[in-house]
Homo-oligomer: A and B are copies of this chain.
């Protein structure tokens, strides 16, 4: 983990424009604030262009997509592309319905993503493959590395496949991360929040793979620390401590463990 990337992000407090799903808006905003970023959420087509131009990063998450949102995402994404603002795309549940599948294709044809993140099923779907899923959740597979690499190559971007082992690839360099905790899967929107944090980290200097790898490692390690607190007995008591951990330095996590 390159702690200087985290420090740089916290210094900058990057403004991340979210067009994200309604389930996670509050949690993503609180998680990004804790981490050190600055969330803004706006999805009216009348204003998304203005907001994206203001922002240091744009997150497009299709978790509760509507037709109107597809248009707003394209408008926001194109404005960001023009202004040189990084765009992170999270194709939540893309394989689950024809509407999501078609919409994400439309978005990716019109907007150039700086990063695509999702689980194995979602990213495999973007390259025309199928992985067993349950609702919007993806079950394990052995091909995460290959999926990440091929998504990165196909879309000329950086790709992150999340799971028990996370993979980040720009199509050439590929790295994995194994920090994390099972409670993350018991709290809705942790994957969506990760997208917000990745968008914030894209605004730091350095190579995408390095920045994103650090963010993945940090996020999972924060979850491990939170889950290790003795007050934590389930997903309910885990969540406040996870938010606290996102605001800490890794040194603090280790200090508390002693």
Residue of B nearest to A247 (CB): B234
Q: Which of A121-129, A211-219, A235-243 lies on the face that meets chain B?
A: A235-243
Contact bitstring A241-255, B, C-beta under 8 A = 1, else 0: 111111110000000
Tell me which residues from 88 to 135 in chain A have a Cβ below 8 Å from any Cβ of chain B: 93, 96-100, 134-135
Binds B, one of A2-10, A147-155, A170-178, A184-192: A184-192
| Residues of chain A from 18 to 49 with CB closer than 8 A to chain B in the complex | 21-27, 29-30, 33-34, 38-44, 46-47
The 0/1 profile, CB within 8 Å of B marked 1, for residues 39-69 of chain A is: 1111110110011001100000001111100
Q: In the complex, what distance in Å separates the CA atom of A111 from the CA atom of B223?
A: 43
CB distance B135 to A33 under 8 Å?
no
Instruction: Give Cα A12–Cα B7 distance, bound, in whole angstroms.
Output: 44
Max chain B C-beta neighbours (<10 A), residue from A47, A187, A242: A47
Chain B's closest residue to A252 (CB) is B233
Question: Chain B residue with minimal CB distance to A185?
Answer: B33
A17 to chain B, nearest CB (A): 9
| C-alpha spacing A247/B182, complex, angstroms | 14
Closest to A243 in B: B236
How many copies of the polypeptide does the oligomer hold?
A: 3
Asked whether A208 is an interface residue with its Cβ less than 8 Å from the other chain, the reply is no
Assembled-state Cα–Cα distance A57/B137 (Å): 17
Assess whether A168 is interfacial by the CB under 8 Å rule: no
CB of A78 closer than 8 Å to a CB of B: no
- A22: which of B25, B47, B233 is its contact (CB, 8 Å)? B25
**A13 within 8 Å of B by Cβ?**
yes
Q: Which residues of B contact A21 (CB under 8 A)?
A: 41
For residue A73, CB closer than 8 A to chain B, the reply is no
Distance in Å: Cβ of A219 to nearest Cβ of chain B:
14
Contacts of A22 in B (CB 8 A): 22, 25, 41
Give which listed residue, B30, B43, B134, B187, contacts A64 with CB less than 8 A.
B43
Q: Is the CB of B188 within 8 A of A50?
A: no
Q: Which of B40, B55, B235 contacts A33 (CB 8 A)?
A: B235
Contact B247 A241, beta carbon cutoff 8 Å: no
B contact residues around A65 at 8 Å (CB): 42, 44, 47
Kindly state whether residue A15 has any CB partner on chain B within 8 Å: yes
A-B CB contact pairs (8 Å), 11 listed = A25-B26, A30-B187, A30-B236, A40-B135, A44-B65, A46-B67, A46-B99, A186-B247, A234-B245, A236-B240, A239-B240
